[in-house]
């Protein structure tokens, strides 16, 4: 995970599968169907409604790995401290 510095603290960025996103996370990559149709644009903040709707995405899309940031991002166990 990379840390992005800010005056008020640091924001963790990590890569997870679409199916693992949580409310409040910011999606940093476009999410597209295998045919290239845009489902979610980069910069989108995950909401409860989105989590409900993503159940309709195909398993291939849910398994796709994307970069996310935000308060609910899990810190990988092998991540080095940036403090």
Strand pairing partners for 27? 68
Q: Full-prediction pTM beyond 0.75?
A: no
Per-residue pLDDT at 58: 84
Residue 83 has pLDDT above 50, yes or no: no
Tokens of 52: 């409900």
Per-residue pLDDT at 55: 85
Per-residue pLDDT at 77: 57
For 8-63, write each residue's pLDDT tens digit. Answer: 566 789 999 999 999 999 999 999 988 899 999 999 999 999 999 988 888 888 99
Place of tokens 């597209």: 32
Strand pairing partners for 10? 5
Per-residue pLDDT at 81: 46
């Amino acid at each position: 995970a990379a840390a992005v510095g800010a005056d008020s603290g640091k924001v963790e960025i990590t890569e997870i599968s679409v199916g693992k996103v949580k409310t409040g996370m910011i999606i940093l990559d476009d999410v597209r169907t295998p045919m290239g149709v845009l489902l979610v644009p980069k910069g989108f903040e995950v909401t409860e409604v989105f989590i409900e709707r993503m159940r309709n995405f195909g398993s291939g899309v849910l398994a796709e790995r994307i970069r996310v940031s935000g308060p609910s991002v899990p810190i990988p166990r092998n991540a080095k401290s940036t403090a």
